């Protein structure tokens, strides 16, 4: 790995799914994100790329796609996803760096990146990789953490936080955890080769006491109504954007799926350890998971 490669947030060994989602009081956030995805995803597709798939929380929501490739830097997260979803040929499990996606160009007609961009120190570089592996007009649904949310604006006005929610510069509130300004994310997408179609604001009521007092169904219903305001203004902590890939980009031909992340050469083969004929790099396939991470 070169000195210029961006740092990667690694959830290896983390019990994030159980601690944060299953037992962390996030039923409201999960429900409203499901609504946003249902509204933004196409009604059918061939091959979906799920970036930052983790333990597969959202994967069942892509049933209209014939195949889904689950990508995460953490192998242990993909192991959890495989236990959850099974070893069906419909799913492709790949441990990889988003900055070096190990796929041939034009492979996917759909992609999602949910609760993942906030770990990207170089978002345009990451989004450009997503664009490379998508066909022309392929649909990309992106979620990002919004720095210009109501809570942040109020805290800034009261002098309770130093960073400015109105500036377009990202704020790194913890190591490799970034909040982004909506205008900046729209610019990132355009620079990476995407054209924005629709924006939804999500998780308007992400307040602990409110989630304890108001019934889940009521909160979810109110949020579902407010999501449509995202076309006009974005003040919620989470924003979903539907865009499509612009420019050239035909669907990948042939049977090869993978591209060497070290040198960019096409790698033929499936369901076995893979070796790049150009640079000699070998990539492991073990227990249904491909490992394309470049080790130090």
1 pLDDT higher than 60 = no
Let me know if residue 296 belongs to a domain: no
Q: What is the pLDDT of residue 248?
A: 77
β-sheet with 65-72: strand ranges across: 194-202, 238-245, 134-145, 108-113, 45-51, 65-72, 91-95, 289-291, 282-286, 274-275
270 pLDDT higher than 70 = yes
Q: What is the pLDDT of residue 180?
A: 98
3 pLDDT higher than 90 = no
Map residue 15 onto helix, strand or coil: coil
Q: Which residue has the higher pLDDT, 77 or 87?
A: 77
Helix axes 27-40, 216-226, angle to 10 degrees: 40
Cβ neighbours of residue 176 closer than 8 Å, sequence gap 6 or more? 7, 8, 9, 119, 121
Consecutive H or E run containing 205: none
CA distance 118 to 216: 26
Let me know if residue 249 belongs to a domain: yes
| Reported confidence tier of residue 295, pLDDT bands at 50, 70, 90 | confident
CATH code (residue 229): 3.40.50.150
Let me know if residue 8 belongs to a domain: no
- 215-248 pLDDT per residue, tens: 999 999 999 999 999 999 999 999 999 999 998 7
Let me know if residue 227 belongs to a domain: yes
250 pLDDT higher than 80 = no
pTM: 0.96
Dihedral sign from CA coordinates of 185, 186, 189, 190? negative
CA distance 192 to 236: 24
Residue with tokens 């956030």: 29
- 170-225 pLDDT per residue, tens: 999 999 999 999 999 999 999 999 999 999 999 999 999 999 999 999 999 999 99
Structural domain harbouring 178: 16-291
Map residue 6 onto helix, strand or coil: coil
Let me know if residue 11 belongs to a domain: no
| Reported confidence tier of residue 5, pLDDT bands at 50, 70, 90 | confident
Burial of residue 128, with CB atoms counted within 10 A of its CB: 0-12 exposed, 13-18 middle, 19 or more buried: middle
Answer yes or no: are the C-beta atoms of 235 and 148 closer than 8 Å: yes
- 36-82 pLDDT per residue, tens: 999 999 999 999 999 999 999 999 999 999 999 999 999 999 999 99
**Percent of all residues in the chain with a pLDDT value above 70, rounded to a whole number:** 98
Over residues 156-175, the mean pLDDT reads: 97
Written as six digits, the tokens of 52 are 């930052």
Answer yes or no: are the C-beta atoms of 71 and 51 closer than 8 Å: yes
Cβ neighbours of residue 204 closer than 8 Å, sequence gap 6 or more? 222, 223, 226, 236
Let me know if residue 163 belongs to a domain: yes
280 pLDDT higher than 80 = yes
Consecutive H or E run containing 167: none
Let me know if residue 2 belongs to a domain: no
21 pLDDT higher than 50 = yes
Written as six digits, the tokens of 146 are 């919004």
Number of domains in the chain: 1
């Amino acid at each position: 790995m070169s000195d210029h490669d961006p740092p990667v947030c690694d959830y290896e060994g983390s019990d994030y799914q159980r601690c944060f989602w299953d037992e962390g009081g996030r039923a409201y956030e999960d429900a409203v994100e499901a609504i946003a995805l249902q509204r933004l995803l196409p009604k059918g597709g061939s091959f979906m790329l799920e970036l930052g798939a983790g333990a597969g929380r959202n994967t069942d929501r892509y049933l209209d796609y014939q195949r889904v490739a689950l990508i995460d830097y953490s192998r242990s997260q993909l192991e959890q996803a495989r236990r959850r979803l099974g070893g069906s040929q419909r799913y492709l499990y790949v441990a990889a760096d988003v900055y070096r996606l190990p796929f041939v160009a034009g492979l996917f007609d759909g992609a999602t990146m949910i609760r993942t961009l906030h770990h990207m120190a170089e978002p345009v570089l990451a989004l450009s990789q997503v664009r490379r592996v998508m066909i022309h007009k392929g649909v990309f649904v992106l979620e990002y953490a919004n720095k210009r949310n109501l809570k942040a604006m109020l805290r800034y006005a009261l002098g309770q936080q130093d960073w400015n929610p109105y500036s377009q510069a990202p704020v790194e509130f913890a190591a490799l955890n970034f909040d982004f300004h909506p205008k900046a994310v729209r610019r990132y997408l355009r620079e990476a080769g995407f054209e924005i179609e629709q924006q939804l604001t999500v998780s308007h009521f992400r307040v602990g006491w409110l989630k304890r007092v108001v019934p889940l169904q009521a909160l979810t219903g109110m949020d579902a109504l407010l999501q449509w305001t995202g076309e006009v203004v974005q003040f919620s902590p989470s924003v979903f954007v539907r865009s499509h890939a612009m420019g050239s980009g035909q669907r990948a031909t042939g049977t090869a799926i993978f591209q060497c992340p070290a040198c960019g050469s096409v790698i033929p083969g499936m369901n076995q350890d893979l070796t790049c004929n150009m640079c000699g790099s070998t990539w492991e396939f073990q227990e249904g998971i491909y490992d394309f991470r470049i080790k130090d």
